[in-house]
Structure 1
Amino acid sequence: MGTARGPFEPEFSELPQQIPVFPLSGALLLPGGRLPLNIFEPRYLSMVRDAMAQPHRLIGMIQSRDDSEEDSLYHVGCAGRISSYSETDDGRMLITLSGTSRFRLLSCENVEDGYHLARVTWTEFEADLTLTEAQINRDHLIDVLRNYFKLKGYTVDWDHIQDCEDERLVSTLSMICPFEVSEKQALLESPDLAARAELLVAILEMASHSEHDEQGAKH
């Protein structure tokens, strides 16, 4: 059995059947993760105001595929609770979403203010609401990560990485690394932490091989 993620997170029975969704390719949110957002479009300012008026304060993050079709949204996204909020003098809202649970998109419509309101189901993702432990090969993940960051030329606080517990480490890396949209979606849809960690290692290894080949071709 896992433990609840935090005192302000909703119970599974409290999750709504409709939530506003923010389509943003490349912006991945995972349960337990934290995603800062800079909101400036009028329709999404309205979306944040409406979400803040609800007890759950949830917004669904969902990616679209690499095309521009209207029906290009992926079917699985992740809802986040607005856990911090501030306003700027130039009319923007700075918010942070704390990842609550993944959802499956059933239907989507535009509301009068222009943003998307989605009908969703949470049934297959009930386990997202609790912290669970999983066996991952952390040492191998760190080794692959060192090679990836070295090839990319990134400066990294390794002490901080070593201090991260497994779920936070895997979630943060999945969210911040510059992966393809399809790769981020695959990480989101991984059934559990162990599967997500395995996929993360595979993506890092493929990216490292590609980066190594590109650097070799330049010499």
Structure 2
Amino acid sequence: MHGRPYFHKISELPQQFAVFPLPRVLLLPGSNLPLNIFEPRYLAMVDDALKTGRAFAMIQPHEKQPGGVPTGPNGLDRPALYDVGCLGRLISFQETGDGRYHILLQGVARFRIRQELAVTTLYRQVIADFSEFEGDLSPAQSGEIDRAALLQDFKRYLEHRQLSTDWKAVENTPTEDIVNSLAMNCPFEASEKQALLEAADLKARATILTALIRMASAGPGEPPDATLQ
């Protein structure tokens, strides 16, 4: 499991910070997300984060916009956001020769948006409430997860998609990291990714993940769990 060395209590977390809206991109507490930053507004966001605690959040925008997409004072698209995102801390930064940043963001804790602020920055900012996700700052409990069954389902998922993986590395990976890595990297729909993010705990996330993997692995006309008993 990745460490959570920077914050130990909810009271230590920033209440106002930038958000980076990306559909189908998930950051989970304790996990690392590599990002390639190239848009001017998000280059500015990273610059500001480096000066002020290295924290910003990932959140999903709603992909469908009834009645059109509202714009902010800078004329930039401002699609509606899901209520829950994940605060991250920038733990690695590399500047490329063509004006991009390669960064690594480590998930700290989930939050619920209390208010989106009217700001003059190119990027969006929110005031957040972490109270219902205080457990994110403690090590996750993975003992109740059926690891063998999860890996069996994952193997069938890979076979269905004609993919492979390094099983020796998987065997040496903690269960929490397996669950979170699959949740972050499998190509699920935005609403499914959001369900994984908002799961009450690691066991609940593993249950949702298993259901999604089984549905994705089922052949035409085949019940999702027909051969997974």
Using the size of structure 1 for normalisation, the TM-score is 0.90
- 1:4–1:131 CA contact under 8 A, matched in 2: no
Distance in 2, Cα, partners of 1:200 & 1:132: 16
Instruction: Name which of 90, 93, 107 aligns with 1:82.
Output: 90
The yes-or-no answer on 1:102 pairing with 2:99 is no
Distance in 2, Cα, partners of 1:119 & 1:78: 13
Pairing 1:140-179 to 2, within 5 Å after superposition: 140-179=149-188
Displacement after TM superposition at 1:113 (Å) = 3.0
Aligned pair count reads 210
The yes-or-no answer on 1:32 pairing with 2:40 is no
One-letter amino acid of the structure 2 residue matched with residue 128 of structure 1: D
Structure 1 runs not aligned, ≥5 long = 215-219
The yes-or-no answer on 1:131 pairing with 2:139 is yes
Displacement after TM superposition at 1:7 (Å) = 2.9
Partner of 1:192: 201
CA shift in 2, pair 1:195/1:205, >3 Å: same
Secondary structure of the corresponding residue to residue 52 of structure 2: coil
Distance in 1, Cα, partners of 2:216 & 2:159: 12
One-letter amino acid of the structure 2 residue matched with residue 204 of structure 1: I
- 1:19–1:117 CA contact under 8 A, matched in 2: yes
CA shift in 2, pair 1:130/1:5, >3 Å: farther
Distance in 1, Cα, partners of 2:3 & 2:132: 18
Mean CA deviation greater in 90-99 or 106-115: 106-115
Partner of 2:129: 121
User: C-alpha deviations, 1:50-94, integer Å up to 9, x for none?
Assistant: 111113x11110001221344521000001100000111111111
Distance in 1, Cα, partners of 2:145 & 2:2: 21
Instruction: Name which of 48, 58, 62 aligns with 1:50.
Output: 48
Distance in 2, Cα, partners of 1:196 & 1:8: 24
One-letter amino acid of the structure 2 residue matched with residue 131 of structure 1: P
CA shift in 2, pair 1:4/1:163, >3 Å: closer
Question: Which aligned runs of 4 or more in structure 1 are off by greater than 6 angstroms?
Answer: none
Distance in 1, Cα, partners of 2:41 & 2:48: 11
Distance in 2, Cα, partners of 1:114 & 1:10: 31
Structure with bigger helix share is: 1
Distance in 2, Cα, partners of 1:62 & 1:179: 15
Distance in 2, Cα, partners of 1:83 & 1:148: 32
Structure 2 runs not aligned, ≥5 long = 71-78, 222-229
- 2:4–2:30 CA contact under 8 A, matched in 1: no
The yes-or-no answer on 1:204 pairing with 2:213 is yes
